[in-house]
Chain A
Amino acid sequence: MARVEVVMPQMGESIAEGTVSRWLKSVGDEVKRDEPILEISTDKVDAEIPSPAEGILAEIRVPEGETVEVQTVIAVLETDKAAPVSAASPPSPPAAEAPPAPPEPAAAPEPVAAAVAPAPPQPAAPKSDGAVQTAEERLRQRSTPLVRKIAAEHHVDIGQVPGTGHAGRVTKKDILAFIESGAPAAAAGPARPAATHPVASAGEIVHPTVGAWEGDRVEPMSKIRKLTADHMIMSRRTSAHVTSFYEIDFTTIAAIRQAKKQEFQDRGAKLTYMAFIVKAVADNLQKHPVVNASVSGDTIIYRKSINIGMAVALDWGLIVPVIRNADELSMLGIAKSIADMADRARSKRLNPDEVQKGTFTITNPGVFGSYIGTPIINQPQVGILGVGAIEKRPKILTLDDGQDVIAIRTMSMFSLSYDHRIVDGADGDRFMADLKRDLESFPEGAL
């Protein structure tokens, strides 16, 4: 008789927990290997969890609606079908909703170690379900001054580092080994501005409190909101933001688009302006590697891949699916990817790895009519392109004979926010100038 555990998967390196949304199988049901047995929901994605083995669902340990840390055993399979399924007991009815996360600790120093020290041999206390954070929990998340310092320097989320110290504390050795292994960059969750730094942000960012007035409605932030809030502040604190603005003439592209629209549609893709922009950005990131990079401590990581994140506004928040290796895709491929990703983001069907490892992000406030905006960098990237409304505007052109005329052109305003720690003004402007040139003289043959 053999028992196989089903654990809450880590849907992305930075994800700390997941919620059981629905059990697709009941205790006693036979399941095949890889047959979906439950659905889970994490900060960004919903997913079906396939069975790790063939057998009988012997035990369900986490009821629907409950949120647990990753790697928590949520079910047990009995692979010997003849064995009695005795331990099986139905889970308690699902909670109305996931319990709220414990309040984030204040930044004020507390004698964590002192509280732990007198009883060193004791195992870590079970995680409390209420608001009280135990010393062990604090220890796990906050570690020590040195580890916090190293984590801040390297943008490492302490919660993602495997801890070997007391109560699973992340020790100096743990975090140094983690950095050494190159894991932190990945763990920082490139393509996801809102949800990639849950624990680091939680440990470090405190939002000031404000009094409510009579009649106001006060509600807790959703998880995605909280993560976005933390990440935005973290990014502002981390990067030296500078924004440059470029006016782009889309008249040529508009003509190409008009001409090729039908052809693309016939091939199953919608030819949008964004496809042109992604193509031109991908080409230029290759030529300007400093904009396709990350800062890690005192080092610069130049990314080999060009993975372009596309910010997608959803009713419940913001998500950034990533077009992997965008420089290798044809216009058709890019157009299809954009449509597919946006579609699946809205229906929460993105795979975890489709929102990871972005190296540059494009956001498109123009869809709502905005002339332009000043985007905040999606850490740990160093550049984000804002695309303003694309519309016909009057433009002064100088004709070949030297005469100035006012013409009706399809125009847009672009903004590039970049991290001045490694991207100087000249670097950013060269990138933008090249991008402008490539877009304004887009070769029809490229399609």
Chain B
Amino acid sequence: MAEVTYLEALRQGIWEEMERDDEVFVLGEDVGKYGGAFKVTEGFQGHFGEERVIDTPISEAAIVGAAAGAAHMGMRPVVEMQFMDFIACAYDILTNYVATARYRAGLSTPIVVRGPSGGYVRGGPFHSQNPEAGFLHTPGLKLVCPATVRDAKGLIKAAIRDDDPVIYFEHKYLYRRIKEDLPQDEEIVTPLGKARVANEGADLTIVTWSAMVWKALEAAERIEQEDGATVEVLDLRTLLPMDDEAIVTSVRKTNKVLIAHEDTRTGGVAGEITARINEKAFEWLDGPIMRVTAHDTPVPYAPTLEDYVLPQTDDVLKSARWLLAY
């Protein structure tokens, strides 16, 4: 066992897949010699060579498009977006081309587009976004949002092996802040589409993912200690495909649901989850489904403003308590 960070787990996952399968290669801005803006691919170019760790121009559309083409030919590209905010620059090629390729033309496009998303780092409007909702509405894409060190590794490996295009939203706040003992002799592959019960509870379910899982766990712990109630924290892990069964199972158990995500509220993923619960578990609800999300603004720069706009642990705690008392 070795204690590794979320970032190191991710690095190991990609590394192992590149060792396992020669078709796996990495491309993106500053990923080669520099090892990536956050050092996810540090040491890769030296080990795997410039052919498999490719520094590209600042051309997100071209990077994703080229990855798609290589994938059609049987390669398995892992694309890095320096910040997930810039995935918007490749929105056309991802939604119009990549997502539809199998349906339209029977083309397999096994690419992974990964990169850091999320705020709480004083990154301002262009280095703090959580753009997952922008892709949730596009059939053909899979969306992965790891919250733990183990999942950072297990899910990236599963994503690379998956035959469909996967957008892999890492959280930059977690990169170096969370650590976990990972067995180094065991292969960790976490299947896509399966949620994880991060904390078992009986009185309320918090459905969440990515960095918000930790805020939910903190809130759950405090409620357990101070209120005597237990909160189930369901880490969705992947948003597409969404693990409806896990959500419904938990709702049937606790009958109250709080959905917590870092992205803005309107049109956010919580709305979709709410609708699914209504469709599949309405009769089990003992309270309204409530959301804790960011306010509907861009992510501002000033710490006071960012803290205001983004959902905090205290917000999760208070909302959970409100629902528990409902």
Give me the interface of A with B, judged by CB distance under 8 Å.
Answer: 113-114, 116-117, 120, 143-147, 149, 165-166, 169, 171-172
Cross-chain contact of B326 among A114, A149, A166 (Cβ < 8 A):
A166
A-B contact count (CB 8 A): 34
Q: Report Cα–Cα, A166/B322, bound state, in Å.
A: 9
Tell me, rounded to whole Å, the shortest Cβ–Cβ distance linking B37 to chain A.
41
Number of interface residues of B (CB under 8 A): 12
Instruction: Please give 16 more A-B residue pairs, beta carbons under 8 A apart, in addition to A117-B288, A144-B286, A144-B287.
Output: A113-B287, A113-B288, A114-B288, A117-B290, A145-B283, A145-B284, A145-B285, A145-B286, A146-B284, A146-B286, A147-B286, A149-B283, A166-B325, A166-B326, A169-B326, A172-B286
- Name the residue of chain B whose CB is nearest to the CB of A164: B325
Q: Is B205 an interface residue when CB atoms closer than 8 A count as contact?
A: no
B288 touches A172 (CB 8 A): no
Q: Report Cα–Cα, A446/B128, bound state, in Å.
A: 91
Q: Report Cα–Cα, A166/B256, bound state, in Å.
A: 14
Tell me, rounded to whole Å, the shortest Cβ–Cβ distance linking B289 to chain A.
9
Q: Is B301 an interface residue when CB atoms closer than 8 A count as contact?
A: no
Tell me, rounded to whole Å, the shortest Cβ–Cβ distance linking A217 to chain B.
42
Across-interface contacts of B286 in A (CB, < 8 A):
143-147, 171-172
Tell me, rounded to whole Å, the shortest Cβ–Cβ distance linking B253 to chain A.
11
Q: Report Cα–Cα, A393/B216, bound state, in Å.
A: 80
Q: Report Cα–Cα, A144/B287, bound state, in Å.
A: 6
Q: Report Cα–Cα, A116/B288, bound state, in Å.
A: 10
Across-interface contacts of A145 in B (CB, < 8 A):
282-286
Across-interface contacts of B290 in A (CB, < 8 A):
117
A144 touches B325 (CB 8 A): no
Q: Report Cα–Cα, A117/B326, bound state, in Å.
A: 9
Known A-B contacts A117-B290, A146-B255; the reply to A171 vs B326 at CB < 8 A is yes
Across-interface contacts of A172 in B (CB, < 8 A):
255, 286
Across-interface contacts of A120 in B (CB, < 8 A):
322
Interface centre among B288, B322, B326 (most CB of A within 10 A): B326
- Name the residue of chain B whose CB is nearest to the CB of A175: B286
B285 touches A165 (CB 8 A): no
Tell me, rounded to whole Å, the shortest Cβ–Cβ distance linking A107 to chain B.
14
- Name the residue of chain A whose CB is nearest to the CB of B288: A113
Contacting A at CB under 8 A, from B30-80, are none
Cross-chain contact of B285 among A114, A116, A144, A166 (Cβ < 8 A):
A144
Q: Report Cα–Cα, A171/B283, bound state, in Å.
A: 14
Contacting A at CB under 8 A, from B280-313, are 282-288, 290
Q: Report Cα–Cα, A149/B322, bound state, in Å.
A: 23
Across-interface contacts of A166 in B (CB, < 8 A):
325-326
Known A-B contacts A146-B283, A149-B283, A172-B255; the reply to A165 vs B326 at CB < 8 A is yes
B285 touches A146 (CB 8 A): yes
Across-interface contacts of A165 in B (CB, < 8 A):
325-326
- Name the residue of chain A whose CB is nearest to the CB of B252: A146
- Name the residue of chain B whose CB is nearest to the CB of A149: B283
- Name the residue of chain B whose CB is nearest to the CB of A170: B286
Tell me, rounded to whole Å, the shortest Cβ–Cβ distance linking B186 to chain A.
41
A-B contacts, 5 listed (Cβ < 8 Å)? A117-B288, A120-B322, A144-B287, A146-B285, A165-B326
Across-interface contacts of B322 in A (CB, < 8 A):
120
Tell me, rounded to whole Å, the shortest Cβ–Cβ distance linking A308 to chain B.
38
Q: Report Cα–Cα, A120/B288, bound state, in Å.
A: 12
- Name the residue of chain B whose CB is nearest to the CB of A112: B288
Interface centre among A113, A144, A147, A165 (most CB of B within 10 A): A144
Across-interface contacts of A114 in B (CB, < 8 A):
288
Q: Report Cα–Cα, A26/B255, bound state, in Å.
A: 51
Q: Report Cα–Cα, A147/B288, bound state, in Å.
A: 13
Across-interface contacts of B288 in A (CB, < 8 A):
113-114, 116-117
Tell me, rounded to whole Å, the shortest Cβ–Cβ distance linking A137 to chain B.
16
Across-interface contacts of A143 in B (CB, < 8 A):
286
Across-interface contacts of A116 in B (CB, < 8 A):
288
Q: Report Cα–Cα, A169/B287, bound state, in Å.
A: 10
- Name the residue of chain A whose CB is nearest to the CB of B318: A120
Across-interface contacts of A113 in B (CB, < 8 A):
287-288, 326
Binary A-proximity of B264-276 (CB < 8 A = 1, otherwise 0): 0000000000000
Q: Report Cα–Cα, A146/B290, bound state, in Å.
A: 16
Across-interface contacts of B326 in A (CB, < 8 A):
113, 165-166, 169, 171
- Name the residue of chain A whose CB is nearest to the CB of B321: A120
Nearest 7 pairs of A and B residues by beta carbon: A113-B288, A172-B286, A146-B286, A144-B286, A145-B285, A145-B283, A149-B283
Across-interface contacts of B255 in A (CB, < 8 A):
144, 146, 172
Q: Report Cα–Cα, A169/B284, bound state, in Å.
A: 16
- Name the residue of chain B whose CB is nearest to the CB of A116: B288
Tell me, rounded to whole Å, the shortest Cβ–Cβ distance linking B173 to chain A.
29
Across-interface contacts of B282 in A (CB, < 8 A):
145
- Name the residue of chain B whose CB is nearest to the CB of A143: B286
Across-interface contacts of A149 in B (CB, < 8 A):
283
Tell me, rounded to whole Å, the shortest Cβ–Cβ distance linking A51 to chain B.
38
- Name the residue of chain B whose CB is nearest to the CB of A114: B288
Contacting A at CB under 8 A, from B168-217, are none
Binary A-proximity of B228-261 (CB < 8 A = 1, otherwise 0): 0000000000000000000000000001000000
Tell me, rounded to whole Å, the shortest Cβ–Cβ distance linking A141 to chain B.
15
Q: Report Cα–Cα, A165/B286, bound state, in Å.
A: 10
Q: Report Cα–Cα, A169/B326, bound state, in Å.
A: 7
Tell me, rounded to whole Å, the shortest Cβ–Cβ distance linking B320 to chain A.
12
Tell me, rounded to whole Å, the shortest Cβ–Cβ distance linking A250 to chain B.
52
Q: Report Cα–Cα, A172/B284, bound state, in Å.
A: 10
Q: Report Cα–Cα, A182/B287, bound state, in Å.
A: 25
Tell me, rounded to whole Å, the shortest Cβ–Cβ distance linking B227 to chain A.
13
Tell me, rounded to whole Å, the shortest Cβ–Cβ distance linking B86 to chain A.
36
Tell me, rounded to whole Å, the shortest Cβ–Cβ distance linking A158 to chain B.
13
Tell me, rounded to whole Å, the shortest Cβ–Cβ distance linking B230 to chain A.
13
Tell me, rounded to whole Å, the shortest Cβ–Cβ distance linking A279 to chain B.
47
- Name the residue of chain B whose CB is nearest to the CB of A171: B286
Tell me, rounded to whole Å, the shortest Cβ–Cβ distance linking B125 to chain A.
28
Q: Report Cα–Cα, A286/B285, bound state, in Å.
A: 43
Q: Report Cα–Cα, A261/B217, bound state, in Å.
A: 80
Tell me, rounded to whole Å, the shortest Cβ–Cβ distance linking B55 to chain A.
51
Across-interface contacts of B287 in A (CB, < 8 A):
113, 144
Q: Report Cα–Cα, A99/B140, bound state, in Å.
A: 61
Q: Report Cα–Cα, A370/B21, bound state, in Å.
A: 90
Q: Report Cα–Cα, A172/B202, bound state, in Å.
A: 12
Across-interface contacts of B284 in A (CB, < 8 A):
145-146
Q: Report Cα–Cα, A146/B322, bound state, in Å.
A: 18
Tell me, rounded to whole Å, the shortest Cβ–Cβ distance linking A414 to chain B.
42
Tell me, rounded to whole Å, the shortest Cβ–Cβ distance linking B191 to chain A.
31
Tell me, rounded to whole Å, the shortest Cβ–Cβ distance linking B187 to chain A.
42
Contacting A at CB under 8 A, from B72-98, are none
